[in-house]
Chain A
Amino acid sequence: MKQPKINRRDVLKGGAALGLAGAAPMFFTRNAYAASYLNDPGNAATVTLGFNVPQTGAYADEGADELRAYELAVQHINGEGDGGMLNTMQPSALKGNGILGKKVEYVTGDTQTKSDAARASAKRMIEKDGAVMITGGSSSGVAIAVQGLCQEAGVIFMAGLTHSNDTTGKDKRRNGFRHFFNGYMSGQALGPVLEKAYGKERNAYHLTADYTWGWTQEASIKASTENIGWKTNNTVKTPVGAGDFSQYITPVLNSGADTLILNHYGKDMINSLTQAVQFGLRDKNVNGNDFVIVVPLYSRLMAQGAGENVKGIFGSTNWHWSLPDEGSQAFVKSFGQAYGFPPSQAAHTCYVQALLYADACERAGTFMPCEVVGALEGHKFDGMGNGPTEYRAEDHQCFKDVLVVKGKENPSSQFDVLEVVEVTPRAQVEYAPDNEFFAGGDLGPCNNGSA
């Protein structure tokens, strides 16, 4: 753990500073010969990772859970605790002695769910704390902004929770990797389930968070629902962190729509769903159909926040703690022991990303970004909770099964709010790298950064 040094103010004394004026130009060439890539830990006994998560704002709950997962991952990589998924990961080069024999330390930053703040804190971690990898997310806008920064600076970015198609679509970068699934996959997985549950004759009304994630998810869901014969009544953009959605929900009542699709996440989803239920939407009957609500991207934290209101509502998720496989159970067990409750999907993806990065460094034998990129591209692994998974080399997107879930009617505990309806196989959600929803981007070359 590093800490900012903020004592010794006496150094401020002007005289000393003036005397050193002549030395200023040396900063241009600092470390020029010492390293071949940015923030090379060299012979140091430790290596620093940067965890950049929202600690304030609409996604703060997710951010807090992500941070817990990162701390757990660091413990496991360093050989502390019960090792979690280190024991189930296939293949694994990790030895439980840090990465490449160096103990892992970490620094944290608050993205505030704002691009500027997120980039500033990522820059601080790279420039001041010497972080060799940045990871985190919870808002795709932020993830894309930070991914761009890491590409320019020359460090690896392991995206946390980011669900926008653009992260590995038009805004993909060579130094950036995403384990989480995306809006298109949600659409592909949800389509057949919705058709089976609600039929072909539906009139859908979208409320959409007004940024890259909302836009791409709306487009993906719209395409897949229209594919099964649904009509799209209207699509309305709402600001992130609005708090009160009543002005957006009232028009739904008289729109003639019989389905409300909430492209919201975090506290926004909790608020909009709660208000939609309070306004009596679910008690209505339109065109002979019972009014239904769909939340394409679900998370247990949100479901918990929305309480009773999620019962019977369909959505998709990257992972759920109730999964029976060995990897999931190992992770849930060590997370539960450390914090007293099960991890969210955000925590899961962040934990996995940290392990995957550590493993890639071990396999590459270095922290040099371009070598790590090489080790991750096309890497196939298993035992991390999602079954067999592949990091596709063409766009750095992980391909794996997707879970379709439903709010549980009779929860057995406050955490048991979602039930898995279907595990959509990877083949059904896979797409070509130049799919229309992902076209226009270019990974570009990898960047080792200039030391």
Chain B
Amino acid sequence: MNIMKSEIGMMVVFTIVILTMPLWLAPIGAGYPDLLQKFAIFGLFAIGYNILFGLTGYLSFGHAAFLGIGSYAAVWSFKLLTMNVLPAILFGVVCSGIFAFCIGYVSLRRSGIYFSILTLAFAQMSYNLAYSVLTPITNGETGLQLTINDPRILDAAVTSATGLPSTTLFGLSMSGYSGFYFCAVVLIIGFFIALRISRSPFGLVLKGIKSNQTRMKYTGFNTRPYMITAFVISGMYAGLAGSLMAVTDPLAGAERMQWTASGEVVLMTILGGAGTLVGPVLGAGLIKYFENIFSAFNDKSLHELFSFLPEILENGVVAIIRPFVGEGWHLMLGLLFMLIIIFLPGGVMKGIDRIKTKFGSKSEKPAEQSE
């Protein structure tokens, strides 16, 4: 497994796997653009979250706020400036970075559960602001959408008004597969940056803070600015993911900032393996896959799926499975999460490591753990 240790090898494998997703996900019903875009976007969100939670151990319950801020900022860029996605992304990342600095500056005065509660409180405040107080900016419950009459200063000279414009990268439409490939490239760049951070002196200091903050202080490190930097970086990743959501679908809604969305990224990271590089991407993919595939089942599709069984058995099986799919897919997710936490506390990546060591692998140590 030497290839996984060298930076280039890891990047090559990751790039190939991500770019070929439309091919190898098609047979399991996940090879369509919207879900593929979600894999890339939430993968990015989770990678960024992992820089905070995985490296420093600080559990933030408020990262959805930055996701939402990135979305709103990007949509405003589409409305006011141009339909080109690059300014939107830049605007989204910068705005969420500024918010992350403010929220992080206050929240990081505390650690442990108090830090988590502070971030949760800030995120809930942001949600309520977006939902009702700041309605002129966010359009409340309905969500911020493009309209034909938006100014779009930079585009005004170019386009004649023929319906709603779509988001573009210098003319290339950002919906469907091209949107996915754009998100995938951003994900790969984001993954590379995370890889470098985790293998840098800065990353080692963050791991030191997670392991023993007391020692860090008596070793001469001013831990707070490090924490704030990590918080801002992960907030910017969230903003990037949020702006990509707006790129692939130019709408920003307040529910993106709800606490459940913050909880989701925590689940993704833990499910995949906090502190590992690939784990969060894997966790994000798993959860989005479950959400899309299992929530689509209804009575009819279940009966068809099990139609090979005798009728009594079929009805029994469907009756047992029904509460866990369709609108009840969260039950399924909860069950999966419990199983992972109980039997694989290190997440899916830990499980893969175990299998590797069990089957006479050539890897010398349970590598990648602290990556």
Contact = CB atoms under 8 A, between A and B. Distances in A.
A202 interface: no
B28 A12 contact: yes
B163 A20 contact: no
Contacts of B177: 27-28, 30
Nearest to B305: A3
A144 B142 contact: yes
Contact of A115 (B38, B147, B255, B300): B255
A151 interface: yes
B24 interface: yes
A206 interface: no
A114 B253 contact: yes
B141 interface: yes
B357 interface: no
Contacts of B142: 115, 140-141, 144-145, 166, 211-212
B23 A24 contact: yes
A445 interface: yes
A7 B30 CA distance: 12
A101 interface: no
Contacts of A144: 142, 145
Interface string B93-128: 000000000000000000000000000000000000
A11 B22 CA distance: 13
Contacts of B163: 151, 174, 444-445, 447
Given A5-B29, A18-B16, A148 B251 contact: yes
Given A4-B296, A11-B28, A153-B175, A120 B38 contact: yes
Interface in A40-71: 55-56, 60
A1 interface: yes
Contacts of A17: 16-17, 20, 23-24
A281 interface: no
A5 B28 contact: yes
Contacts of A211: 140-142
Contact of A145 (B145, B166, B296): B145
Given A11-B28, A107-B296, A124-B292, A20 B20 contact: yes
B326 A55 contact: yes
A178 interface: no
A60 B327 CA distance: 10
Interface in A409-451: 440-442, 444-445, 447, 450
A367 to B, nearest CB: 19
Given A12-B24, A24-B20, A128 B35 contact: yes
A442 B148 contact: yes
Max chain B C-beta neighbours (<10 A), residue from A27, A117, A148 = A27
Contact of B327 (A9, A56, A127, A166): A56
B304 interface: yes
B11 interface: no
A237 interface: yes
A24 B22 contact: yes
A34 interface: no
Nearest to A7: B28
B79 interface: no
Given A17-B20, A124-B292, A149 B300 contact: no
A149 B296 CA distance: 19
A222 B8 CA distance: 66
B255 A114 contact: yes
A123 interface: yes
B210 to A, nearest CB: 32
Interface string B246-268: 00011101011000000000000
A14 B18 CA distance: 12
Nearest to A22: B20
Interface of A: 1-9, 11-12, 14, 16-18, 20-21, 23-24, 27-28, 30, 55-56, 60, 107-110, 114-117, 119-121, 123-124, 127-128, 140-141, 144-145, 148-149, 151-153, 166, 170-171, 174, 210-212, 237, 239-240, 440-442, 444-445, 447, 450
Interface of B: 16-17, 19-20, 22-24, 27-29, 32-35, 38, 131-132, 140-143, 145-149, 162-164, 166, 173, 175-178, 249-251, 253, 255-256, 292-293, 295-298, 300-301, 304-305, 326-327
Question: What 3 A-B pairs have minimum CB-CB distances, sorted nearest first?
Answer: A211-B141, A17-B24, A123-B34
12 contacts: A3-B297, A6-B29, A11-B27, A11-B28, A108-B298, A109-B295, A116-B251, A128-B32, A141-B141, A145-B143, A145-B251, A148-B164
